[in-house]
């Protein structure tokens, strides 16, 4: 039986006239079980593989091995399909033309899927929006799927669609399934693929070499199969008259959820978090209240974890107005840490964007700030990645120089990993 | 024992029986007694499962009948959940309003006691502090002017768990004073000596209660003050540790002067004794620092005791500095009592009115008032 907990980290004391309350809420799930095996409904998986002409022989052969490795990780009974993508989208498996576009995994289906994968040929362009819309239709063809997840592999830019077409496609499938996206090589656009992953509650990462693909695919599928909680929601209640300034996931990655609010009731907003395995995620909630008199106490937010319509855990964010400066000036270490990590992600992305646009001055400033923040918040992984793009003169002050020659892979890896956060030290 | 099993969904939960026969608080797990209407540890509301004990520790011949103010005083009373004091909304199970988020006051934040028609107490968080670390505990025989015990303890806010400790201390002291039974008739002097001896014992019991509520590994031991008055007809015996006070306030025109009976153990008092005018001393630096207290780190908790033979009508007042900060001189307190009590002489009305008055003056500290009308 799955168990859920919510822990709150904050300084609840506000000075006279203080209005803004910040808290980090850690939600933890344990005993999640396996996808589709917990009695709450079946799971569905779709593997989307780029088979455009640019894949060439090496990448395509590696992609076949990777797709087969992912198929091998799908638990029997799980509904699945394989999509081959070019400037169009093809249903590579199952071989049907109407009715249900997915089949349940068993040994026969697994064998037939391997056969279908081996038939992949590289040809044509890239239209990721079309691939996503086909995946959406396939999921819809199987009624009652509780959990829907896809893996998308691409190697290039979305040449055969306008950005608007991609945006519309993303909109049309948002909320229908989750999608982890991977780019192989260095010819794809991080920002473009990140857009898909963020909207579809998935991750984005680079696979520098084709032979690394099969391990990545196996792991992604394994992780998805370990998510027994099909769909959970973060809920934030704030008192009447209060303003929820923002709601962010801050660990394991930074994702701003504020605009994804759906109204549960006038005082409570729901934010989708997708499926859960045995894991912890941290959220930063910021609420603005009307100031009250010294000595007053009130609730600033109830942060709830809901599975279906059931609230399974709740954390209380409080506000107490005090004239004791020893209490009100304390900075909560968790809030400070994640505020820094959020700024770190922004500094990296803005710095790389400026660098790509040829604005070296802004790039140097932003990446310097990123180095400084990575140092302050103890994010050694970010420091290591930054070191491949800039020469660090002084990490404390954030003094850096842009490297003359940067490996494109390193720059893209820095970009895709920019939202990854570390937990607080100690 | 009387069972109070009748509960509605809105009544506070009852204590949870443990395997060792004790009871635990459903909110925080601390040990609670069956008759308690709220948990001493967390302040959470409880539905008592037993009536208050009718007898004091000396059960052979209880000297006086105690009636504690319980939220549920008879079997048929159903405690109805109160709406939010701020907006009228529904209070959630987490103790906060579901609409505006205002914290619902706990029983520990504000309570009254009214053991007999002539004795009452009111204990309140005030406005500026987040917890009520004051405590009162009173007891009285039913006959007006017969025998009463008034105890006030003021928890030191810089120490941990002072709210739990002060309540335990006040109750322990009250129980000792209630149980005290003068042996034989004796002379007036021996009566006074016997009661004063009981006050010293009561302070020891209160001190033991504070230490008992202090976490063993606490580096900031709980501590509190002590002030008590024992009324036996027109004899008032009193004692104090720290800066909680005992006053005798005769009605104006009845002869006799209003008097501050207790002497603070405070920096301000030390300065007054060295010749500094009272007002200056009480508003000077460190004025509220107390030089004696109860608790594990107390070097000396011997109370100053005294007695007085009073001429009724008038009021015996035991209070914390949350009240006397706004009316320190006995004459000022007398005028205040006359102003807000007349023409009623109901002690509960006056105790609540004094607390409200102190809140009106800013309520900077917790406020406790225990009164006996003579």
**Across B243-272, average pLDDT:** 92
Which pLDDT value is given to residue B8? 34
Are A320 and B130 inside 8 Å of each other by CB?
A: yes
Residue B241's φ and ψ, nearest 5 degrees, are -135, 125
Query: Is B39 part of a structural domain of the chain?
Result: yes
Which pLDDT value is given to residue B5?
A: 32
Mean pLDDT across A260-282: 95
Q: Which domains does chain A have, with CATH numbers?
A: 3-33+229-330 (2.60.40.3670), 42-225 (3.40.50.410), 334-416 (1.20.120.1690)
When the pLDDT of each residue in chain B is averaged and rounded to a whole number, the result is 83
The Cα of A260 is separated from the nearest Cα of chain B by a number of Å equal to 23
Place of tokens 């029986």: B17
- Structural domain contains residue B325: yes
The answer to whether residues B251 and B257 touch, using CB atoms and an 8 Å cutoff, is no
B19, part of any domain: no
Pick left, alpha or beta for residue A320 (phi over 0 → left; psi -120 to 50 → alpha; otherwise beta): beta
Cβ-defined contact of A299 to B94 (cutoff 8 Å): yes
Q: Is the pLDDT of residue A78 over 50?
A: yes
Q: What pLDDT, on the 0 to 100 scale, is given for residue B44?
A: 67
Number of domains in chain B: 2
Distance CA B287, CA B324 (A): 13
- The residue out of B87, B106, B125 marking a domain boundary is B106
Task: List phi, psi (to 5°) of A31.
Answer: 70, 35
Residue B204 lies in a domain: yes
Do the chains contact at B127 and A299, CB–CB below 8 Å?
A: no
User: Which of B101, B220, B365 is the best mutation test for A, with the most CBs of A within 10 A?
Assistant: B101
Co-location of B100 and B168 in the same domain: no
Name the residue with tokens 């992600």: A345
Contact A276, A232 (CB under 8 A): yes
What is the pLDDT at residue A309? Answer: 87
Please name the member of A240, A293, A295 whose beta carbon is closest to the beta carbon of B100: A240
Nearest to A46 by CA among A194, A226, A221: A221
Displacement of CA B277 from its chain's centroid (Å)? 30
- Nearest chain B residue (CA) to A241: B100
A406 close contact with B: CB closer than 8 A: no
- B103–A298 C-beta distance less than 8 A: yes
Residue B101 touches chain A, beta carbons under 8 Å: yes
B222 CB contacts (<8 Å, ≥6 apart)?
B155, B156, B159, B160, B161, B162, B164, B165, B210, B213, B214, B295, B296
Q: CB–CB of B74/B59 below 8 Å?
A: no
Answer yes or no: are the C-beta atoms of B75 and B4 closer than 8 Å: yes
B300 and B248 in a common domain: yes
- Are B323 and B337 contained in the same domain? yes
Residues B100 and B112 in one domain: no
Do B132 and B101 share a structural domain? no
Mean pLDDT of A387-399: 94
Question: In the structure encoding, which two tokens stand for residue A87, read together?
Answer: 């400037």
Does residue B356 have a pLDDT over 60?
yes
Q: Is A311 on the interface with B (CB under 8 A)?
A: no
Give CA–CA dist B38/B70, Å, rounded: 9
Question: Does the structure show a pLDDT above 50 at B233?
Answer: yes
Give the residue-averaged pLDDT of A290-316: 94
A99–B contact, CB cutoff 8 A: no
Q: What percent of chain B has pLDDT over 70?
A: 82
Could B127 and A294 be called an inter-chain contact, meaning their C-beta atoms sit closer than 8 Å? yes
Q: Within this chain, do residues B116 and B101 fall inside the same structural domain, yes or no? A: no
Overall average pLDDT of the A166-180 stretch: 96
- CB atoms closer than 10 angstroms to residue B90: 11
The CATH number of whichever domain residue B232 belongs to comes to: 3.60.40.10
pLDDT at residue number A36: 87
- Residue B354 three-state SS: helix
The string of pLDDT tens digits covering residues B171-205 is 999 999 999 876 666 788 888 999 999 999 999 99
A21 touches chain B (CB under 8 A): no
Q: Report d(CA A232, CA A257) in Å as an integer.
A: 14
Is residue B62 a part of any domain in this protein?
A: no
One domain for residues B230 and B327: yes
Backbone dihedral region for residue B130 (phi beyond 0: left; psi -120 to 50: alpha; all else: beta) = alpha
> Is residue B96 located within the same domain as residue B117?
no
Summarised one tens digit per residue, pLDDT across range B99-127 is 999 998 888 899 999 999 999 999 999 99
Q: Name the helix (H) or strand (E) containing B23.
A: strand B23-24
HEC readout, chain A = CCEEEEEEEECCEECCCCCEEEEEEEEEEECCCCCCCCCCCEEEEEEEEECCHHHHHHHHHHHHHHHHHHHHHCCCCCEEEEEEECCCEEEEECCCCCCCCCEECCHHHHHHHHHHHHCCCCCCCCCHHHHHHHHHHHHHCCCCEEEEEEEEEECCCCCCCCHHHHHHHHHHHCCCCEEEEEEECCCCCHHHHHHHHHHCCCCEEEECCHHHHHHHHHHHHHHHHCCCEEEEEEEEECCCCCEEEEEEEEECECEECHHHCEEEECCEEEEEEEEECCEEEEEEEEEECCCCCCCCEEEEEEEEEEECCEEEEEEEEEEEECCCHHHHCCCCHHHHHHHHHHHHHHHHHHHHHHHHCCCHHHHHHHHHHHHHHHHHCCCHHHHHHHHCCEEEEECCCCEEEECCCCCHHHHHHHHHCCCECCCCCC
Same domain assignment for residues B93 and B231: no
Do B4 and B121 lie in one domain? The reply is no
Chain A residue nearest residue B129, CA to CA: A295
Quote the CA–CA distance of A319 and A10 in Å, as a whole number: 10
Asked whether residue B24 is assigned to any structural domain, the reply reads no
From the list A242, A298, A323, which residue is nearest B96 (CB)? A298
Cβ atoms A51, A154 nearer than 8 A: no
Q: How many CA atoms lie within 13 A of B42 on its CB side?
A: 15
Q: Do A302 and B94 touch (CB under 8 A)?
A: yes
- First-to-last alpha carbon distance for chain A, in angstroms, is 31
Q: Which of B41, B42, B33 is nearest to B15 (CA)?
A: B33
Written as six digits, the tokens of B8 are 């509605």
Partner residue facing A293 (CB), from B92, B127, B130: B127
Note the pLDDT tens digit of each residue in B9-60.
345 667 777 777 777 777 667 777 777 777 666 666 677 666 654 443 333 3
pLDDT of residue B40: 66
Residue B86's closest chain A neighbor by CA? A298
**How much is the pLDDT for B73?**
31
Q: Is the pLDDT of residue B62 over 70?
A: no
Counting Cα atoms < 13 Å in the Cβ hemisphere of A126 gives 24
Give B78-91 pLDDT, tens digit per residue.
344 678 888 999 99
- Say if A266 is an interface residue toward chain B (CB within 8 Å): no
Q: Establish if B23 belongs to a structural domain.
A: no
- Nearest by CB to residue B130, choosing from A239, A241, A297, is A297
Average pLDDT over residues A83-111: 95
Number of C-beta neighbours around residue B150 at 10 A: 32
Dump pLDDT digits (tens) for A139-169: 999 998 999 999 999 999 999 999 999 999 9
Question: What average pLDDT does the structure give for chain A?
Answer: 94
- Per CB-CB distance under 8 Å, the chain B contacts of A238 are 101
CB contact under 8 A, B128 and A295: yes
- Residues A19 and A386: their CA atoms lie apart, in Å, by 37
The answer on pLDDT for B2 being more than 70 is: no
Q: Do B127 and A298 touch (CB under 8 A)?
A: no
The boundaries of the domain holding residue B306 are 108-373
**Residue count (chain A):** 426
Structure tokens at A363: 């790039």
Question: Contact, B94 vs A237, CB < 8 A?
Answer: no
The pTM is what?
0.79
Residue with tokens 């009544």: B11
Determine how many CB atoms are found less than 10 A away from the CB of residue A36.
27
Q: Who's near A143: CB < 8 A, 6+ residues apart?
A: none
Q: Do A295 and B126 touch (CB under 8 A)?
A: yes
Q: Could you tell me which chain A residue has the CA closest to the CA of B102?
A: A298
pLDDT for B195 equals: 93
Alpha-carbon gap, residue B109 to B335, rounded angstroms: 28
Q: Measured between beta carbons, which residues in chain B are less than 8 angstroms from residue A299?
A: 94, 96-97, 101-103
d(CA B236, CA B167): 23
Average pLDDT, integer, range A323-351: 93
Residues of B in contact with A302 (CB under 8 A): 92, 94, 96
Q: How far is B203 from chain A (nearest CA, A)?
A: 31
Based on the fold, state whether residues B116 and B89 are members of the same structural domain.
no
Q: Are residues B99 and B164 in the same domain?
A: no
B367-373: strand order across its sheet:
B110-116, B119-124, B367-373, B314-319, B245-250, B259-260
- Looking at the complex, does the CB of residue B311 fall below 8 Å from at least one CB of chain A? no
ipTM surpasses 0.85 = no
Position with higher pLDDT, B36 vs A299: A299
| Position B42 in a domain | yes
Q: What is the pLDDT of residue B53?
A: 47
């Amino acid at each position: 039986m799955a168990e859920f907990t919510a822990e709150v980290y904050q300084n609840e004391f506000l000075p006279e006239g203080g209005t803004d309350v910040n808290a980090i809420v850690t939600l933890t799930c344990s005993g999640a079980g396996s996808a589709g095996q917990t009695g709450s409904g079946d799971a569905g998986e779709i593997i989307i593989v780029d088979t455009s002409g640019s894949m060439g022989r090496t990448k395509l052969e590696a992609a076949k091995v990777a797709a087969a490795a992912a198929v091998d990780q799908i638990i029997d009974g799980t509904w699945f399909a394989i999509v081959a993508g070019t400037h169009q989208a093809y249903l590579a498996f199952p071989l049907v033309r109407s009715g249900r576009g997915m089949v349940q995994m068993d040994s026969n289906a697994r064998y037939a899927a391997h056969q279908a994968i081996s038939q992949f040929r590289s040809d044509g362009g890239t239209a990721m929006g079309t691939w996503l819309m086909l995946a959406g239709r396939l999921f819809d063809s199987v009624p009652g799927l509780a959990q829907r997840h896809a893996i998308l592999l691409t190697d290039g830019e979305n040449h055969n669609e306008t950005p608007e077409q991609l945006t519309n496609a993303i909109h049309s499938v948002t909320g229908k399934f989750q999608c982890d996206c991977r780019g192989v090589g260095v010819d794809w656009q991080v920002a473009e693929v990140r857009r898909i992953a963020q909207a579809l509650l998935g991750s984005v990462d680079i696979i520098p070499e084709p032979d690394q693909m099969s391990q990545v695919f196996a792991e992604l599928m394994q992780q998805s199969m370990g998510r027994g909680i099909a769909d959970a929601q973060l809920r934030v209640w704030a008192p009447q008259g209060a303003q929820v300034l923002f709601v962010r996931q801050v660990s394991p990655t930074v994702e701003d959820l504020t605009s994804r609010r759906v109204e549960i009731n006038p005082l409570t907003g729901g934010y989708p978090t997708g499926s859960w395995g045995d894991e912890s995620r941290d959220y930063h909630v910021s609420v603005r209240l009307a100031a009250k008199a010294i000595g007053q106490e009130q609730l600033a937010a109830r942060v709830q974890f809901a599975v279906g319509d059931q609230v399974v855990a709740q954390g209380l964010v409080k506000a107490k107005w005090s004239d004791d400066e020893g209490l009100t000036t304390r900075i909560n270490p968790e809030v400070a840490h994640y505020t820094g990590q959020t700024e770190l992600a922004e500094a990296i992305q803005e710095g790389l964007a400026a660098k790509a646009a040829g604005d070296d001055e802004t790039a140097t400033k932003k990446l310097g700030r990123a180095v400084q923040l990575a140092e302050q918040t103890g994010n050694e992984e970010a420091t290591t990645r930054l070191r491949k793009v800039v020469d660090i003169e002084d990490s404390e002050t954030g003094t850096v120089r842009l490297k003359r020659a940067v490996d494109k892979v390193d720059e893209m890896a820095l970009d895709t990993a920019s939202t990854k956060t570390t937990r607080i030290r100690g | 024992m009387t069972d109070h099993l009748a509960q509605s969904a809105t009544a506070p939960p009852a204590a949870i029986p443990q395997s060792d026969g004790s009871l635990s608080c459903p909110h925080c797990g601390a040990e609670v007694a069956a008759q308690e209407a709220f948990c001493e540890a967390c302040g959470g509301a409880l539905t008592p499962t037993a009536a208050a004990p009718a007898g004091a520790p000396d059960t052979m011949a209880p000297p006086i009948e105690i009636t504690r103010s319980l939220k549920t005083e008879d079997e048929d009373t159903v405690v109805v959940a109160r709406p939010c004091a701020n907006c009228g909304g529904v209070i959630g199970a987490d103790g906060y309003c579901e609409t505006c988020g205002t914290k619902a006051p706990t029983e520990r934040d504000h309570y009254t006691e009214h053991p007999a028609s002539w004795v009452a107490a009111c204990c309140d968080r005030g406005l500026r502090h987040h917890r009520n670390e004051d405590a009162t505990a009173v007891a009285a025989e039913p006959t007006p002017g017969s025998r009463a015990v008034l105890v006030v303890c003021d928890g030191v806010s810089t120490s941990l768990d002072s709210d739990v400790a002060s309540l335990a201390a006040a109750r322990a002291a009250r129980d000792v004073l209630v149980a005290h039974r003068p042996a034989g008739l004796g002379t007036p002097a021996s009566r006074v000596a016997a009661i004063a001896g009981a006050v010293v014992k009561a302070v020891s019991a209160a001190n033991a209660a504070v230490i008992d509520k202090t976490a063993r590994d606490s580096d900031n031991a709980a501590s509190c003050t002590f002030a008590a008055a024992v009324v036996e007809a027109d004899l008032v015996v009193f004692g104090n540790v720290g800066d909680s006070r005992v006053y005798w306030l005769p009605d104006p025109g009845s002869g006799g002067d209003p008097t501050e009976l207790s002497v603070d153990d405070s920096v301000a008092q030390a300065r007054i004794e060295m010749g500094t005018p009272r007002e200056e001393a009480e508003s000077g630096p460190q004025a509220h620092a107390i030089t004696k207290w109860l608790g594990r780190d107390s070097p000396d908790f011997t109370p100053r005791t005294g007695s007085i033979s009073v001429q009724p009508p008038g009021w015996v007042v035991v209070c914390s500095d949350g009240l006397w900060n706004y009316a320190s001189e006995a004459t000022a307190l007398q005028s205040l009592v006359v102003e807000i009590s007349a023409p009623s002489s109901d002690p509960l009305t006056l105790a609540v009115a004094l607390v409200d008055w102190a809140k009106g003056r800013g309520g900077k500290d917790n406020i406790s008032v225990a009164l006996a009308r003579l």
